[in-house]
Amino acid sequence: MNNMILNKRENIFSGKKILLTEDKEINQLIVLGLLSGSGFDIDIANNGEEAVDKCREFNYSLILMDIEMPIMDGYDATKIIREKNKEIPIIALTSNGTIEDINRTKSVGMNEHLLKPIDLELLYSTFSKYINVA
Amino acid sequence: MFDENIIPKFEHINIEIGLKFLNNNKKLYLKILNSFLDRYKDVDVESLTGDELKDVIHSIKGLSATLGMEKLNRLSMSDLTKEVISELSENLSLVLDELKDKLGSI
């Protein structure tokens, strides 16, 4: 990981609001810590149902979606969000990485499948692929 | 006095791996190690069954990989036989004891 490269990205996503859907507080802390210099305004949903509700309320630039969560998992949440919104980028962020897992995230309408532990370079390049910055 | 720039030396945690995945952010790494200790210090893995066991092992799998707990990660990715769960529980105790000892001393 090259801190110098990441430091050049300080606040490049300023003004962009994204949704982190993650049920484990410790994993929320990791993502918030890693993205602390990104400029993102980050909302948190603690499960898929909360993600669906928040997407009805706010217009996010992107959603990071865990898969295994209580109440509603990431697959079902994505299916419901996609009924109303075909455009929003939804990125799976999970420790499940089999071919079956990847195929399933794509089949429900997620755009990318990223693995934990988080590769920060890959995460930033994925943001850049889906979010326009001035 | 807590020093957020000093990571203690661990026997059961590879801090090079942990720092790599946390963008070499020592303050964040220590914060997450403390959170890991808080989360699992009262968990008796061998007493868990079904979905509860699956959920805890799934979480440990991701966190141990991120934090550099290599043996714990290998065990969490294995088939969960009684022997593996026992060994995982034992290794988790070693990791937690070390965190209690080392994080309490900085």
* Residue A27's CATH number: 3.40.50.2300
b/e map A13-37, b = 16+ CB within 10 Å: beebebbbbbbbebbbbbbebbbeb
* pLDDT tens digit sequence for B12-39: 999 999 999 999 999 999 999 999 999 9
CB distance from B59 to chain A under 8 Å?
yes
Looking at the domain assignment, is residue A24 inside a domain? yes
Task: Write the DSSP string, A50-96.
Answer: HHHHHHHH---SEEEE-SS-SSS-HHHHHHHHHHH-SSS-EEEEES-
- CA-based nearest residue in chain A for residue B17: A117
CB distance from B28 to chain A under 8 Å?
yes
CB distance from B22 to chain A under 8 Å?
yes
Using CB atoms and an 8 Å cut-off, which of residues 17-46 of chain A contact chain B? 24-27, 29-30, 33-34
Q: Considering chain A, what is the average pLDDT of its residues?
A: 93
Which sequence spans correspond to the domains of chain B? Answer: 15-103
Quickly state the pLDDT bin for B1 (edges 50, 70, 90).
Answer: very low
Looking at the domain assignment, is residue A6 inside a domain? no
Looking at the domain assignment, is residue A2 inside a domain? no
Strands, E assignment, chain B: none
Domain range enclosing A52: 14-129
Residues A12, A38: contact at Cβ < 8 Å? yes
Instruction: Give the pTM.
Output: 0.93
* pLDDT tens digit sequence for B59-79: 999 999 999 999 999 999 999
Looking at the domain assignment, is residue A31 inside a domain? yes
* pLDDT tens digit sequence for A74-114: 999 999 999 999 999 999 999 989 999 999 999 999 999 99
Average pLDDT over residues A105-124: 97
b/e map B6-40, b = 16+ CB within 10 Å: ebbebebbebebbbbbbbebbebbbbbbebbbebb
Average pLDDT over residues B84-96: 97
Count the domains in chain A: 1
Cα dihedral sign, A78-A80-A86-A89: negative
